[in-house]
Chains A and B, each alone.
Chain A
Amino acid sequence: MECSICNMRPATLHLTNYLNGHKSEVHVCHECALEHGYIEKHDEPYTIHDLLSGLFHHEYGAHSQPTQPSHTPHAESCPNCQMTYQQFVNTGKFGCAYCYDTFSQHLNPILRRVHSGNVEHVGKVPERQHVHLQKKRVIQSYREQLNQLIQDEEFEEAARVRDKIKALENGEDHREDERGADE
Protein backbone atom coordinates (compact mmCIF):
# COMPACT_ATOMS: atom_id res chain seq x y z
CA MET A 1 0.00 0.00 0.00
CA GLU A 2 1.32 3.45 -0.91
CA CYS A 3 1.38 6.43 1.39
CA SER A 4 -1.78 8.45 0.85
CA ILE A 5 0.03 11.76 1.28
CA CYS A 6 3.16 11.50 -0.85
CA ASN A 7 2.02 8.55 -2.98
CA MET A 8 5.67 7.50 -3.17
CA ARG A 9 6.84 5.59 -0.17
CA PRO A 10 5.05 2.55 1.19
CA ALA A 11 2.58 3.27 3.98
CA THR A 12 3.89 1.98 7.29
CA LEU A 13 1.52 3.70 9.65
CA HIS A 14 -2.10 2.82 9.66
CA LEU A 15 -4.08 5.02 11.97
CA THR A 16 -7.68 5.23 12.82
CA ASN A 17 -8.49 8.88 12.56
CA TYR A 18 -11.41 10.38 14.44
CA LEU A 19 -11.92 13.76 12.88
CA ASN A 20 -15.24 15.60 12.88
CA GLY A 21 -16.88 12.63 14.47
CA HIS A 22 -16.10 10.41 11.52
CA LYS A 23 -13.85 7.45 11.76
CA SER A 24 -11.50 7.01 8.87
CA GLU A 25 -8.34 5.08 8.12
CA VAL A 26 -5.14 6.91 7.36
CA HIS A 27 -2.28 5.13 5.64
CA VAL A 28 0.93 7.09 5.58
CA CYS A 29 4.67 6.58 5.44
CA HIS A 30 6.86 7.37 8.42
CA GLU A 31 8.18 10.65 6.97
CA CYS A 32 4.74 12.01 6.18
CA ALA A 33 3.44 10.84 9.53
CA LEU A 34 6.15 12.83 11.29
CA GLU A 35 5.64 15.82 9.06
CA HIS A 36 1.90 15.90 9.54
CA GLY A 37 2.03 15.32 13.25
CA TYR A 38 0.46 11.89 13.34
CA ILE A 39 3.43 10.72 15.34
CA GLU A 40 6.28 12.27 17.22
CA LYS A 41 9.77 11.06 17.90
CA HIS A 42 8.36 10.02 21.23
CA ASP A 43 7.88 6.59 22.59
CA GLU A 44 4.12 6.54 22.22
CA PRO A 45 2.12 4.67 19.64
CA TYR A 46 -0.49 7.38 19.77
CA THR A 47 0.89 10.80 20.60
CA ILE A 48 -1.24 12.84 18.35
CA HIS A 49 -1.10 16.39 19.55
CA ASP A 50 -2.30 17.77 16.27
CA LEU A 51 -5.04 15.26 15.93
CA LEU A 52 -6.12 15.86 19.50
CA SER A 53 -5.99 19.61 19.30
CA GLY A 54 -8.05 19.18 16.16
CA LEU A 55 -10.60 17.39 18.30
CA PHE A 56 -10.55 20.11 20.91
CA HIS A 57 -11.03 22.83 18.33
CA HIS A 58 -13.86 20.94 16.81
CA GLU A 59 -15.40 20.46 20.20
CA TYR A 60 -15.31 24.14 20.92
CA GLY A 61 -16.57 25.18 17.52
CA ALA A 62 -19.34 22.78 16.75
CA HIS A 63 -21.07 21.96 20.01
CA SER A 64 -22.54 24.43 22.37
CA GLN A 65 -22.99 23.14 25.87
CA PRO A 66 -26.67 23.65 26.68
CA THR A 67 -26.20 22.77 30.35
CA GLN A 68 -23.66 25.48 31.07
CA PRO A 69 -24.32 28.23 28.56
CA SER A 70 -22.83 30.98 30.71
CA HIS A 71 -19.26 29.70 30.38
CA THR A 72 -17.18 30.91 27.54
CA PRO A 73 -14.38 28.39 27.16
CA HIS A 74 -11.72 31.07 26.86
CA ALA A 75 -12.38 32.37 30.32
CA GLU A 76 -11.71 29.02 31.95
CA SER A 77 -8.45 28.27 33.61
CA CYS A 78 -7.50 25.66 36.17
CA PRO A 79 -7.49 27.07 39.71
CA ASN A 80 -4.80 24.59 40.75
CA CYS A 81 -2.20 24.74 37.97
CA GLN A 82 -3.35 27.88 36.10
CA MET A 83 -3.55 26.08 32.78
CA THR A 84 -5.85 28.02 30.47
CA TYR A 85 -8.35 26.49 28.11
CA GLN A 86 -6.28 27.77 25.21
CA GLN A 87 -3.15 26.01 26.54
CA PHE A 88 -5.16 22.86 26.99
CA VAL A 89 -6.33 23.04 23.39
CA ASN A 90 -2.87 23.80 22.05
CA THR A 91 -1.06 21.04 23.90
CA GLY A 92 -3.85 18.47 24.05
CA LYS A 93 -2.62 17.74 27.58
CA PHE A 94 -3.81 18.35 31.09
CA GLY A 95 -1.73 20.34 33.56
CA CYS A 96 -2.83 18.58 36.73
CA ALA A 97 -5.42 16.28 38.25
CA TYR A 98 -7.83 19.20 38.82
CA CYS A 99 -7.81 20.07 35.10
CA TYR A 100 -10.05 17.04 34.62
CA ASP A 101 -12.71 18.92 36.60
CA THR A 102 -11.91 22.32 35.20
CA PHE A 103 -12.30 21.20 31.60
CA SER A 104 -14.81 18.46 32.35
CA GLN A 105 -17.54 19.85 30.10
CA HIS A 106 -15.32 19.23 27.05
CA LEU A 107 -14.05 15.92 28.22
CA ASN A 108 -16.59 13.22 27.44
CA PRO A 109 -16.76 13.68 23.66
CA ILE A 110 -12.97 13.68 23.47
CA LEU A 111 -12.56 10.60 25.64
CA ARG A 112 -15.26 8.82 23.67
CA ARG A 113 -13.41 9.35 20.44
CA VAL A 114 -10.00 8.47 21.77
CA HIS A 115 -11.11 5.43 23.75
CA SER A 116 -13.62 3.73 21.44
CA GLY A 117 -16.66 5.28 23.06
CA ASN A 118 -15.61 4.81 26.68
CA VAL A 119 -15.70 7.47 29.38
CA GLU A 120 -15.63 5.46 32.64
CA HIS A 121 -12.68 3.67 34.19
CA VAL A 122 -13.26 0.02 35.05
CA GLY A 123 -9.76 -1.20 35.87
CA LYS A 124 -7.33 -1.17 38.77
CA VAL A 125 -7.88 0.97 41.83
CA PRO A 126 -5.15 2.21 44.18
CA GLU A 127 -6.19 0.13 47.15
CA ARG A 128 -4.78 2.01 50.09
CA GLN A 129 -6.30 5.31 48.96
CA HIS A 130 -9.61 3.89 47.83
CA VAL A 131 -10.46 0.96 50.06
CA HIS A 132 -14.20 1.40 49.68
CA LEU A 133 -14.11 1.73 45.94
CA GLN A 134 -11.96 -1.35 45.70
CA LYS A 135 -14.46 -3.32 47.77
CA LYS A 136 -17.35 -2.03 45.73
CA ARG A 137 -15.66 -3.24 42.57
CA VAL A 138 -14.96 -6.67 44.00
CA ILE A 139 -18.56 -7.04 45.10
CA GLN A 140 -19.76 -5.87 41.72
CA SER A 141 -17.69 -8.46 39.93
CA TYR A 142 -18.98 -11.15 42.31
CA ARG A 143 -22.53 -10.05 41.52
CA GLU A 144 -21.91 -10.43 37.82
CA GLN A 145 -20.43 -13.84 38.45
CA LEU A 146 -23.45 -14.73 40.58
CA ASN A 147 -25.93 -13.77 37.86
CA GLN A 148 -24.07 -15.85 35.34
CA LEU A 149 -23.97 -18.84 37.66
CA ILE A 150 -27.68 -18.60 38.32
CA GLN A 151 -28.35 -18.40 34.60
CA ASP A 152 -26.18 -21.47 34.09
CA GLU A 153 -28.03 -23.18 36.95
CA GLU A 154 -24.80 -23.75 38.84
CA PHE A 155 -26.55 -23.25 42.14
CA GLU A 156 -23.96 -24.73 44.43
CA GLU A 157 -21.24 -22.44 43.15
CA ALA A 158 -23.72 -19.56 43.16
CA ALA A 159 -24.40 -20.07 46.84
CA ARG A 160 -20.69 -19.93 47.52
CA VAL A 161 -20.33 -16.65 45.65
CA ARG A 162 -23.36 -15.22 47.45
CA ASP A 163 -21.69 -16.03 50.78
CA LYS A 164 -18.58 -14.21 49.66
CA ILE A 165 -20.65 -11.15 48.82
CA LYS A 166 -22.40 -11.29 52.19
CA ALA A 167 -19.12 -11.63 54.02
CA LEU A 168 -17.70 -8.63 52.22
CA GLU A 169 -20.80 -6.57 52.80
CA ASN A 170 -21.02 -7.39 56.49
CA GLY A 171 -17.30 -7.14 56.99
CA GLU A 172 -17.30 -3.37 57.01
CA ASP A 173 -19.18 -0.30 56.02
CA HIS A 174 -22.93 -0.06 55.51
CA ARG A 175 -22.22 2.18 52.56
CA GLU A 176 -21.85 -0.94 50.48
CA ASP A 177 -25.59 -1.49 50.80
CA GLU A 178 -26.21 1.30 48.32
CA ARG A 179 -24.84 -0.95 45.64
CA GLY A 180 -27.80 -3.28 46.09
CA ALA A 181 -30.13 -0.75 44.51
CA ASP A 182 -28.15 -0.74 41.29
CA GLU A 183 -28.91 -4.27 40.37
Chain B
Amino acid sequence: MSLQSFINRAISPWMQEEGPEHDIVLSTRIRLARNFADVPFPLMAREDQLEHVRDRLKHEFEGKTFLDNESLEYFNMRDLSSNESQVLTEKHLISPFLVERSKESAVLLSQNERVSLMINEEDHIRMQLYFPGLQLESGLEKAFKFDDWLEETIDFAFDEHRGYLTSCPTNVGTGLRASVMLHLPALTLTQKIGKMMPAINQLGFVVRGTYGEGTEALGNIYQLSNQVTLGRSEEDIIQDLNSVVTKLIERERYARNLLVEQSEYRLEDRIFRSYGILKHSRIMESKEAAKCLSDLRLGIDVGFINHLSTSILNELMVLTQPAFLQQYAKQPLSAEKRDVKRASIIRERLNLEEA
Protein backbone atom coordinates (compact mmCIF):
# COMPACT_ATOMS: atom_id res chain seq x y z
CA MET B 1 0.00 0.00 0.00
CA SER B 2 1.31 3.43 -0.86
CA LEU B 3 1.18 6.79 0.83
CA GLN B 4 -1.40 7.81 -1.75
CA SER B 5 -4.05 5.49 -0.36
CA PHE B 6 -3.74 7.16 3.05
CA ILE B 7 -3.91 10.56 1.39
CA ASN B 8 -6.80 9.86 -0.94
CA ARG B 9 -9.39 8.59 1.46
CA ALA B 10 -10.92 11.28 3.60
CA ILE B 11 -12.32 8.97 6.15
CA SER B 12 -10.40 6.25 7.91
CA PRO B 13 -12.03 2.84 7.37
CA TRP B 14 -12.79 2.48 11.10
CA MET B 15 -14.79 5.72 11.05
CA GLN B 16 -17.43 4.03 8.94
CA GLU B 17 -18.14 1.53 11.68
CA GLU B 18 -20.74 2.53 14.20
CA GLY B 19 -19.22 2.38 17.66
CA PRO B 20 -21.00 2.54 21.01
CA GLU B 21 -22.88 5.84 21.59
CA HIS B 22 -22.14 6.82 18.00
CA ASP B 23 -24.97 9.37 17.93
CA ILE B 24 -22.76 11.59 20.10
CA VAL B 25 -19.28 10.10 20.37
CA LEU B 26 -17.49 10.21 17.03
CA SER B 27 -14.29 8.53 18.11
CA THR B 28 -11.97 7.53 20.92
CA ARG B 29 -8.22 7.92 20.82
CA ILE B 30 -5.67 6.43 23.20
CA ARG B 31 -2.18 7.88 23.06
CA LEU B 32 0.87 6.62 24.92
CA ALA B 33 4.16 8.51 25.02
CA ARG B 34 7.35 6.47 25.30
CA ASN B 35 11.07 7.06 24.93
CA PHE B 36 14.14 4.95 24.29
CA ALA B 37 16.00 4.47 27.57
CA ASP B 38 19.44 5.14 26.16
CA VAL B 39 18.88 8.03 23.73
CA PRO B 40 18.31 11.70 24.66
CA PHE B 41 14.80 12.95 23.91
CA PRO B 42 14.33 14.55 20.48
CA LEU B 43 14.80 18.04 21.97
CA MET B 44 18.44 17.31 22.90
CA ALA B 45 19.37 14.35 20.71
CA ARG B 46 21.93 14.57 17.92
CA GLU B 47 20.86 13.87 14.37
CA ASP B 48 22.57 10.47 14.28
CA GLN B 49 20.83 9.47 17.51
CA LEU B 50 17.44 10.33 16.09
CA GLU B 51 18.34 8.43 12.95
CA HIS B 52 19.11 5.44 15.16
CA VAL B 53 15.63 5.72 16.72
CA ARG B 54 13.99 5.85 13.27
CA ASP B 55 16.03 2.99 11.87
CA ARG B 56 15.44 0.82 14.88
CA LEU B 57 11.66 1.26 14.78
CA LYS B 58 11.56 0.86 11.00
CA HIS B 59 13.64 -2.28 11.20
CA GLU B 60 11.55 -3.82 14.00
CA PHE B 61 8.05 -2.89 12.93
CA GLU B 62 7.77 -1.97 9.25
CA GLY B 63 5.57 -4.51 7.49
CA LYS B 64 4.74 -6.24 10.78
CA THR B 65 1.15 -6.83 11.78
CA PHE B 66 -0.44 -6.36 15.14
CA LEU B 67 -3.83 -7.75 16.28
CA ASP B 68 -5.91 -6.33 13.45
CA ASN B 69 -3.81 -8.04 10.82
CA GLU B 70 -3.05 -4.94 8.85
CA SER B 71 0.62 -4.25 8.52
CA LEU B 72 2.42 -1.08 9.50
CA GLU B 73 3.70 1.20 6.76
CA TYR B 74 6.72 3.39 7.41
CA PHE B 75 7.19 6.93 6.09
CA ASN B 76 9.94 9.46 6.68
CA MET B 77 8.22 12.79 7.11
CA ARG B 78 10.80 14.56 4.95
CA ASP B 79 9.68 12.44 1.98
CA LEU B 80 6.14 13.82 2.14
CA SER B 81 5.10 16.97 0.33
CA SER B 82 3.82 19.68 2.62
CA ASN B 83 0.29 19.17 1.37
CA GLU B 84 0.51 15.42 1.98
CA SER B 85 1.70 16.07 5.55
CA GLN B 86 -1.15 18.46 6.05
CA VAL B 87 -3.68 15.92 4.80
CA LEU B 88 -2.46 13.40 7.39
CA THR B 89 -2.71 16.15 10.01
CA GLU B 90 -6.26 16.98 8.98
CA LYS B 91 -7.11 13.31 9.42
CA HIS B 92 -5.57 13.57 12.90
CA LEU B 93 -3.24 10.68 12.09
CA ILE B 94 -0.22 12.83 12.88
CA SER B 95 0.31 16.02 14.87
CA PRO B 96 1.34 19.41 13.49
CA PHE B 97 4.45 19.13 15.65
CA LEU B 98 5.55 15.96 13.85
CA VAL B 99 5.37 17.94 10.61
CA GLU B 100 7.37 20.80 12.13
CA ARG B 101 10.09 18.31 12.97
CA SER B 102 9.97 16.65 9.55
CA LYS B 103 13.76 16.65 9.18
CA GLU B 104 14.02 13.94 11.82
CA SER B 105 10.53 12.57 12.24
CA ALA B 106 8.74 9.58 10.76
CA VAL B 107 5.51 7.68 11.16
CA LEU B 108 4.36 4.07 11.18
CA LEU B 109 0.74 3.81 10.02
CA SER B 110 -1.38 0.70 9.98
CA GLN B 111 -3.19 0.20 6.70
CA ASN B 112 -6.60 0.42 8.35
CA GLU B 113 -5.54 3.66 10.08
CA ARG B 114 -6.34 2.32 13.52
CA VAL B 115 -2.76 2.73 14.67
CA SER B 116 -0.37 5.59 14.14
CA LEU B 117 3.05 5.57 15.72
CA MET B 118 4.76 8.94 15.51
CA ILE B 119 8.54 8.81 15.68
CA ASN B 120 10.71 11.65 17.02
CA GLU B 121 7.88 13.98 17.81
CA GLU B 122 8.30 15.53 21.27
CA ASP B 123 9.06 12.00 22.47
CA HIS B 124 10.70 9.19 20.51
CA ILE B 125 7.43 7.30 20.36
CA ARG B 126 3.87 8.55 20.42
CA MET B 127 1.58 5.65 19.67
CA GLN B 128 -2.02 6.47 18.94
CA LEU B 129 -4.88 4.00 18.60
CA TYR B 130 -8.24 5.03 17.20
CA PHE B 131 -11.68 3.55 17.77
CA PRO B 132 -15.17 4.42 16.50
CA GLY B 133 -17.58 5.62 19.15
CA LEU B 134 -16.93 5.41 22.87
CA GLN B 135 -14.46 2.61 23.57
CA LEU B 136 -12.18 3.84 26.31
CA GLU B 137 -11.85 0.62 28.25
CA SER B 138 -11.36 -1.78 25.37
CA GLY B 139 -9.23 0.89 23.71
CA LEU B 140 -6.86 1.03 26.67
CA GLU B 141 -6.62 -2.75 26.65
CA LYS B 142 -5.57 -2.74 22.98
CA ALA B 143 -3.14 0.11 23.56
CA PHE B 144 -1.53 -1.84 26.40
CA LYS B 145 -1.15 -4.87 24.11
CA PHE B 146 0.43 -2.70 21.45
CA ASP B 147 2.73 -1.15 24.04
CA ASP B 148 3.71 -4.62 25.32
CA TRP B 149 4.45 -5.65 21.77
CA LEU B 150 6.83 -2.72 21.31
CA GLU B 151 8.38 -3.36 24.69
CA GLU B 152 9.36 -6.88 23.67
CA THR B 153 12.15 -5.34 21.64
CA ILE B 154 12.60 -1.73 22.79
CA ASP B 155 13.91 -0.66 26.21
CA PHE B 156 11.77 2.24 27.37
CA ALA B 157 12.88 5.08 29.63
CA PHE B 158 11.16 4.20 32.89
CA ASP B 159 11.68 5.06 36.52
CA GLU B 160 10.12 3.21 39.42
CA HIS B 161 8.91 6.43 41.01
CA ARG B 162 8.22 8.66 38.02
CA GLY B 163 6.96 6.02 35.62
CA TYR B 164 7.46 6.43 31.88
CA LEU B 165 9.80 9.35 31.39
CA THR B 166 8.75 11.93 28.83
CA SER B 167 10.24 15.14 27.54
CA CYS B 168 7.42 17.26 28.96
CA PRO B 169 6.58 16.91 32.68
CA THR B 170 2.89 17.10 31.74
CA ASN B 171 3.11 13.58 30.25
CA VAL B 172 5.31 11.78 32.74
CA GLY B 173 3.99 8.71 34.58
CA THR B 174 1.55 6.89 32.38
CA GLY B 175 2.30 8.91 29.24
CA LEU B 176 -1.40 8.46 28.59
CA ARG B 177 -3.60 10.94 26.83
CA ALA B 178 -7.04 9.48 26.31
CA SER B 179 -9.42 11.58 24.29
CA VAL B 180 -12.95 11.35 23.11
CA MET B 181 -14.39 13.33 20.23
CA LEU B 182 -17.94 14.43 20.91
CA HIS B 183 -20.60 16.07 18.78
CA LEU B 184 -22.51 18.34 21.17
CA PRO B 185 -24.83 20.55 19.10
CA ALA B 186 -27.67 20.73 21.63
CA LEU B 187 -25.46 21.58 24.61
CA THR B 188 -23.80 24.23 22.47
CA LEU B 189 -27.06 25.63 21.11
CA THR B 190 -28.51 25.92 24.60
CA GLN B 191 -25.21 27.36 25.90
CA LYS B 192 -24.90 24.68 28.55
CA ILE B 193 -21.47 23.46 27.57
CA GLY B 194 -19.65 26.59 28.76
CA LYS B 195 -21.18 26.22 32.17
CA MET B 196 -20.09 22.61 32.47
CA MET B 197 -16.46 23.26 31.59
CA PRO B 198 -15.15 24.52 34.95
CA ALA B 199 -16.45 21.42 36.70
CA ILE B 200 -14.87 19.21 34.05
CA ASN B 201 -11.55 21.04 34.45
CA GLN B 202 -11.68 20.58 38.17
CA LEU B 203 -11.78 16.83 37.69
CA GLY B 204 -8.52 17.03 35.74
CA PHE B 205 -9.96 16.95 32.24
CA VAL B 206 -9.88 19.47 29.46
CA VAL B 207 -12.38 20.27 26.73
CA ARG B 208 -11.34 21.86 23.46
CA GLY B 209 -12.76 22.40 20.02
CA THR B 210 -11.38 19.82 17.61
CA TYR B 211 -11.39 21.69 14.33
CA GLY B 212 -10.37 25.09 13.16
CA GLU B 213 -8.48 28.02 14.58
CA GLY B 214 -11.68 29.94 15.22
CA THR B 215 -13.21 31.14 18.44
CA GLU B 216 -15.44 28.14 18.94
CA ALA B 217 -15.62 24.42 18.39
CA LEU B 218 -16.19 24.20 14.66
CA GLY B 219 -18.99 21.80 13.84
CA ASN B 220 -19.80 21.63 17.56
CA ILE B 221 -17.17 18.92 17.81
CA TYR B 222 -15.31 18.83 21.10
CA GLN B 223 -12.39 16.84 22.33
CA LEU B 224 -12.37 15.78 25.96
CA SER B 225 -9.11 14.46 27.38
CA ASN B 226 -7.21 13.86 30.60
CA GLN B 227 -4.58 16.25 31.92
CA VAL B 228 -3.18 14.30 34.84
CA THR B 229 -0.80 11.48 33.88
CA LEU B 230 1.02 10.92 37.17
CA GLY B 231 -0.13 9.29 40.38
CA ARG B 232 -3.20 7.67 38.93
CA SER B 233 -3.37 4.37 37.13
CA GLU B 234 -4.39 4.28 33.50
CA GLU B 235 -7.51 2.35 34.45
CA ASP B 236 -8.55 5.03 36.95
CA ILE B 237 -7.95 7.82 34.46
CA ILE B 238 -10.02 6.00 31.85
CA GLN B 239 -12.78 5.24 34.32
CA ASP B 240 -13.11 8.87 35.37
CA LEU B 241 -12.99 10.09 31.80
CA ASN B 242 -15.64 7.55 30.94
CA SER B 243 -17.94 8.79 33.65
CA VAL B 244 -17.52 12.41 32.55
CA VAL B 245 -18.29 11.41 28.96
CA THR B 246 -21.30 9.44 30.08
CA LYS B 247 -22.60 12.51 31.91
CA LEU B 248 -22.07 14.65 28.83
CA ILE B 249 -23.88 12.13 26.65
CA GLU B 250 -26.80 12.08 29.08
CA ARG B 251 -27.03 15.88 29.12
CA GLU B 252 -26.69 16.15 25.35
CA ARG B 253 -29.48 13.61 24.80
CA TYR B 254 -31.66 15.40 27.29
CA ALA B 255 -31.00 18.76 25.63
CA ARG B 256 -31.74 17.25 22.21
CA ASN B 257 -35.07 15.88 23.40
CA LEU B 258 -35.99 19.19 24.92
CA LEU B 259 -35.07 21.02 21.73
CA VAL B 260 -37.15 18.68 19.60
CA GLU B 261 -40.12 18.95 21.94
CA GLN B 262 -40.04 22.66 22.65
CA SER B 263 -38.75 24.34 19.53
CA GLU B 264 -41.80 23.33 17.49
CA TYR B 265 -40.79 23.90 13.90
CA ARG B 266 -37.72 25.98 14.65
CA LEU B 267 -35.23 23.15 15.04
CA GLU B 268 -36.61 21.34 12.02
CA ASP B 269 -36.47 24.56 10.04
CA ARG B 270 -32.88 25.20 11.05
CA ILE B 271 -31.84 21.70 10.06
CA PHE B 272 -33.52 21.77 6.67
CA ARG B 273 -32.20 25.26 5.94
CA SER B 274 -28.71 23.99 6.58
CA TYR B 275 -29.43 20.99 4.38
CA GLY B 276 -30.55 23.35 1.63
CA ILE B 277 -27.41 25.46 1.93
CA LEU B 278 -25.19 22.40 1.78
CA LYS B 279 -27.06 21.06 -1.24
CA HIS B 280 -27.14 24.20 -3.32
CA SER B 281 -24.38 26.64 -2.34
CA ARG B 282 -21.67 27.54 -4.83
CA ILE B 283 -19.35 29.23 -2.34
CA MET B 284 -18.90 27.84 1.15
CA GLU B 285 -16.60 29.03 3.90
CA SER B 286 -15.31 26.40 6.29
CA LYS B 287 -17.13 27.90 9.23
CA GLU B 288 -20.49 27.85 7.49
CA ALA B 289 -19.84 24.33 6.24
CA ALA B 290 -19.08 23.17 9.75
CA LYS B 291 -22.22 24.75 11.18
CA CYS B 292 -24.46 23.29 8.47
CA LEU B 293 -22.85 19.86 8.67
CA SER B 294 -23.40 19.83 12.42
CA ASP B 295 -27.06 20.72 11.87
CA LEU B 296 -27.39 18.02 9.25
CA ARG B 297 -25.89 15.40 11.51
CA LEU B 298 -28.21 16.47 14.33
CA GLY B 299 -31.10 16.15 11.88
CA ILE B 300 -30.04 12.60 11.09
CA ASP B 301 -29.65 11.73 14.78
CA VAL B 302 -33.01 13.10 15.91
CA GLY B 303 -34.77 11.55 12.92
CA PHE B 304 -35.72 14.51 10.71
CA ILE B 305 -33.50 13.14 7.97
CA ASN B 306 -33.47 9.45 7.25
CA HIS B 307 -31.71 8.81 3.99
CA LEU B 308 -28.20 10.00 4.82
CA SER B 309 -25.47 8.09 6.60
CA THR B 310 -24.20 9.36 9.94
CA SER B 311 -20.57 9.28 8.84
CA ILE B 312 -21.27 12.24 6.60
CA LEU B 313 -20.31 14.74 9.30
CA ASN B 314 -16.95 13.09 10.00
CA GLU B 315 -16.23 12.64 6.40
CA LEU B 316 -17.13 16.08 5.15
CA MET B 317 -15.45 17.83 8.09
CA VAL B 318 -12.19 16.24 6.99
CA LEU B 319 -12.82 16.40 3.26
CA THR B 320 -13.45 20.13 3.34
CA GLN B 321 -10.23 21.06 5.19
CA PRO B 322 -7.80 23.15 3.12
CA ALA B 323 -5.19 20.48 2.35
CA PHE B 324 -7.81 17.95 1.31
CA LEU B 325 -9.41 20.44 -1.05
CA GLN B 326 -6.04 21.08 -2.66
CA GLN B 327 -5.34 17.39 -2.85
CA TYR B 328 -8.59 16.94 -4.75
CA ALA B 329 -7.94 19.94 -6.99
CA LYS B 330 -4.39 18.63 -7.49
CA GLN B 331 -3.09 22.19 -7.11
CA PRO B 332 -2.71 24.96 -4.54
CA LEU B 333 -5.90 26.99 -4.18
CA SER B 334 -6.54 30.52 -3.00
CA ALA B 335 -8.95 30.93 -0.10
CA GLU B 336 -11.73 31.92 -2.47
CA LYS B 337 -11.09 29.00 -4.82
CA ARG B 338 -11.13 26.73 -1.80
CA ASP B 339 -14.58 27.96 -0.83
CA VAL B 340 -15.82 27.15 -4.34
CA LYS B 341 -14.18 23.72 -4.27
CA ARG B 342 -15.59 23.06 -0.81
CA ALA B 343 -19.13 23.84 -1.95
CA SER B 344 -18.81 21.60 -4.98
CA ILE B 345 -17.38 18.65 -3.02
CA ILE B 346 -20.22 18.87 -0.50
CA ARG B 347 -22.82 18.97 -3.28
CA GLU B 348 -21.22 16.00 -4.99
CA ARG B 349 -21.05 14.02 -1.80
CA LEU B 350 -24.70 14.70 -0.93
CA ASN B 351 -25.83 13.80 -4.44
CA LEU B 352 -23.95 10.55 -4.12
CA GLU B 353 -25.83 9.73 -0.90
CA GLU B 354 -29.18 10.64 -2.34
CA ALA B 355 -28.75 8.67 -5.53
Using a CB–CB cutoff of 8 Å, the interface residues on chain A facing chain B are 1, 9-16, 25, 29-31, 34, 39, 41-48, 52, 80-83, 91-97, 100, 107, 110-111, 114-130, 133
A62 to B197, CA, bound (A): 32
Residues from chain A with Cβ under 8 Å of B35 in the complex: 97
The residues in B between 213 and 238 inclusive whose CB is less than 8 angstroms from any CB of A are 213-217, 223, 225, 227-234
A52 to B227, CA, bound (A): 14
The residues in B between 265 and 289 inclusive whose CB is less than 8 angstroms from any CB of A are none
> Size range of the interface on B?
35 or more
B333 within 8 A of A: no
Residues from chain B with Cβ under 8 Å of A11 in the complex: 194
B169 touching A94, Cβ below 8 Å: yes
A125 to B147, CA, bound (A): 10
Contact with A along B145-159 (1 / 0, CB 8 A): 001100110011111
Residues from chain B with Cβ under 8 Å of A41 in the complex: 96, 213
Question: Given A111-B172, A124-B144 in contact, is the A82-B206 Cβ separation under 8 Å?
Answer: no
A127 to B159, CA, bound (A): 13
How far in angstroms is the closest Cβ of chain B from A129? 6
Q: How many A-B residue pairs have CB under 8 A?
A: 181
B198 touching A14, Cβ below 8 Å: yes
Using a CB–CB cutoff of 8 Å, the interface residues on chain B facing chain A are 35, 37, 39-41, 43-45, 92, 95-97, 122, 144, 147-148, 151-152, 155-170, 172-174, 176-177, 179, 194, 197-198, 201-202, 204, 206-209, 213-217, 223, 225, 227-234
B41 touching A123, Cβ below 8 Å: no
B157 touching A120, Cβ below 8 Å: no
B202 touching A16, Cβ below 8 Å: yes
B160 touching A100, Cβ below 8 Å: no
Q: Given A52, A91, A127, which contacts B148 in the complex, CB threshold below 8 Å?
A: A127
Residues from chain B with Cβ under 8 Å of A120 in the complex: 161-162, 230-231
A121 to B162, CA, bound (A): 5
Question: Given A47-B170, A100-B165 in contact, is the A125-B158 Cβ separation under 8 Å?
Answer: yes
Which residue of chain A is the closest to B200 with respect to CB atoms? A14
Show 12 A/B contacts (Cβ-Cβ < 8 Å), sorted by A.
A10-B215, A11-B194, A14-B194, A81-B44, A94-B169, A95-B40, A95-B43, A96-B41, A114-B169, A122-B233, A123-B232, A127-B151
A126 touching B206, Cβ below 8 Å: no
A43 to B167, CA, bound (A): 15
Which residue of chain B is the closest to A45 with respect to CB atoms? B206
Q: Closest 8 A-B residue pairs measured CB to CB?
A: A118-B231, A121-B163, A95-B44, A43-B95, A96-B40, A115-B230, A97-B157, A14-B197
B173 touching A121, Cβ below 8 Å: yes
Question: Given A31-B215, A43-B95 in contact, is the A48-B170 Cβ separation under 8 Å?
Answer: yes
Residues from chain B with Cβ under 8 Å of A34 in the complex: 213
B231 touching A94, Cβ below 8 Å: no
A15 touching B201, Cβ below 8 Å: yes
B206 touching A12, Cβ below 8 Å: no
Residues from chain B with Cβ under 8 Å of A31 in the complex: 215
Known: A41-B213, A94-B43. 8 other contacts (CB 8 A): A16-B202, A30-B215, A41-B96, A42-B96, A45-B225, A110-B169, A115-B173, A124-B164
How far in angstroms is the closest Cβ of chain A from B182? 14
A126 touching B158, Cβ below 8 Å: yes
Residues from chain B with Cβ under 8 Å of A46 in the complex: 170, 206, 227
A44 to B144, CA, bound (A): 21
A183 to B225, CA, bound (A): 35
A92 touching B215, Cβ below 8 Å: no
